[in-house]
Amino acid sequence: MKLGAIEAGGTKFVCAVSDENITIEDRTQFPTTTPEETMAQVFTYFEQHPVDAIGIGSFGPVSLNEEADNYGFITNTPKLAWKNYDFLGAMKAHFDIPFYFTTDVNVAAYGEYKAGAGRGKQNILYWTVGTGVGASYLQNGGFLQGYSHPEMGHILLRHDPRDHGFEGVCPYHGDCFEGLAAGPSIEKQFGKKGNEIDPSDEFWEIEANYIAQACVNATLILRPDIIIFGGGVMKQSQLFPQIQKEFVKQLADYVDFPEISNYIVHVELGDDAGITGALMLAKKATE
């Protein structure tokens, strides 16, 4: 059995093929441009590498309500060329095989749940902080989903007084979590990327404050077994002790939680979390 995966990010698409044991046999990537250009490359790839099922993790928001008329669509995305694009429908029109369609954050969370930092845990909260901010919650092995998937990257946070009232960059909410803490926010404030800012700069304390606030909110609402962070911004290793310290301070002993160094952690699979999870969900689609 051959399994396929698509990790459709706002910046790039990654496509891969594996055997049934999730051993990757081939992979490729290309920039996310227009649906016409990008999807033509997806179709060509899987025509050249036939598979029995495909797991898809897409940037969003996407419609995951199977009863909705727009199920499988990318919906109200800031990437205007992709707004209301029928992603799943386009794939089904080209390939008569099973699909598992979900968010890009969900596939990364599933990869960490099965093969990464979440192994052996039942209730996994996964955050990505990079170009945007998104989250996924797996409860007893299933994705938390109501009318559609959660959008925890857009929760509202209290301003750190040291950010001088920074207005944020989210085109919808301004100073939500994504607007204050994602990569584009850092670039707007400093004129350079996070990896170009000195690790000792006070800014990282502000960033840690925002991330810790999100962790407190999620802990009080969801009570996860572990909180796992991925994404480009979280490659700053100095952030984790700062977040952990700020989290403990903000939560103020109100509820208990696992030992902090094992509670708020970095991904184990790194940049492979998403494609690994998508392949695993492709296998699930065949079952």
pLDDT in tens, 148-195: 889 999 999 999 999 988 999 998 899 999 999 999 999 999 888 999
Q: Among 136, 169, 143, which Cα is nearest to 60's?
A: 136
Do residue 32 and residue 88 come from a single domain?
yes
Percentage of residues in the chain having pLDDT higher than 70: 100
Is residue 264 predicted with pLDDT exceeding 80?
A: yes
Query: What pLDDT does residue 60 have?
Result: 86
Do residue 99 and residue 125 come from a single domain?
no
Is residue 147 predicted with pLDDT exceeding 90?
A: no
Q: Which of 60, 79, 107 is the last residue of a domain?
A: 107
The per-residue pLDDT of the chain, averaged, comes to 95
Do residue 253 and residue 124 come from a single domain?
yes
How far apart, in whole angstroms, are the C-alpha atoms of residue 205 and residue 284?
41
**Adjacent-strand bridge partners of 199:** none
* pTM exceeding 0.75: yes
Q: Which of 85, 107, 129 is the last residue of a domain?
A: 107
What Cα–Cα distance (Å) separates residue 267 from each residue in 93, 112, 230?
A: 35, 7, 5
Do residue 214 and residue 103 come from a single domain?
no
Do residue 103 and residue 123 come from a single domain?
no
Report if residue 284 sits inside a domain.
Answer: no
Structure tokens belonging to residue 76: 């109200």
Q: Helices in the chain by DSSP H: which ranges?
A: 35-48, 87-94, 104-115, 177-181, 183-190, 203-222, 239-251, 273-286
Query: What pLDDT does residue 76 have?
Result: 87
6-26 per-residue burial string, b: 16 or more CB within 10 A, e: under 16: bbbbbeebbbbbbeeebeeee
Do residue 148 and residue 208 come from a single domain?
yes
Please count the structural domains in the chain: 2
Query: What pLDDT does residue 279 have?
Result: 98
Do residue 58 and residue 37 come from a single domain?
yes
Report if residue 56 sits inside a domain.
Answer: yes
Report if residue 280 sits inside a domain.
Answer: no
Beta-carbon contacts of residue 137 (< 8 Å; ≥ 6 apart): 109, 123, 124, 125, 126, 143, 144, 150, 222, 224
Is residue 37 predicted with pLDDT exceeding 90?
A: yes
Is residue 20 predicted with pLDDT exceeding 80?
A: yes
- Per the structure, the complete domain to which residue 59 belongs is given by 3-107
Report if residue 285 sits inside a domain.
Answer: no
Do residue 157 and residue 73 come from a single domain?
no
Report if residue 156 sits inside a domain.
Answer: yes
253: left (phi over 0), alpha (psi -120 to 50) or beta: left
How far apart, in whole angstroms, are the C-alpha atoms of residue 186 and residue 4?
35
How far apart, in whole angstroms, are the C-alpha atoms of residue 282 and residue 22?
10
Residue 272, SS3?
helix
Domain CATH number, residue 196: 3.30.420.40
Query: What pLDDT does residue 79 have?
Result: 84
Report if residue 276 sits inside a domain.
Answer: no
Percentage of residues in the chain having pLDDT higher than 90: 89
Is residue 78 predicted with pLDDT exceeding 80?
A: no
Report if residue 170 sits inside a domain.
Answer: yes
Do residue 25 and residue 136 come from a single domain?
no
Q: Which of 77, 107, 137 is the last residue of a domain?
A: 107
Beta-carbon contacts of residue 39 (< 8 Å; ≥ 6 apart): 90
Is residue 133 predicted with pLDDT exceeding 90?
A: yes
How far apart, in whole angstroms, are the C-alpha atoms of residue 151 and residue 63?
12
Do residue 101 and residue 171 come from a single domain?
no
Do residue 92 and residue 231 come from a single domain?
no
Structure tokens belonging to residue 92: 């089904």
Query: What pLDDT does residue 11 have?
Result: 87
In this prediction, residue 10 has a pLDDT band, given cuts at 50, 70 and 90, of confident
190-210 per-residue burial string, b: 16 or more CB within 10 A, e: under 16: eeeebeebeeeeebbbbbbbb
Report if residue 139 sits inside a domain.
Answer: yes
How far apart, in whole angstroms, are the C-alpha atoms of residue 124 and residue 142?
10
Task: Provide mean pLDDT across the span 253-257.
Answer: 96
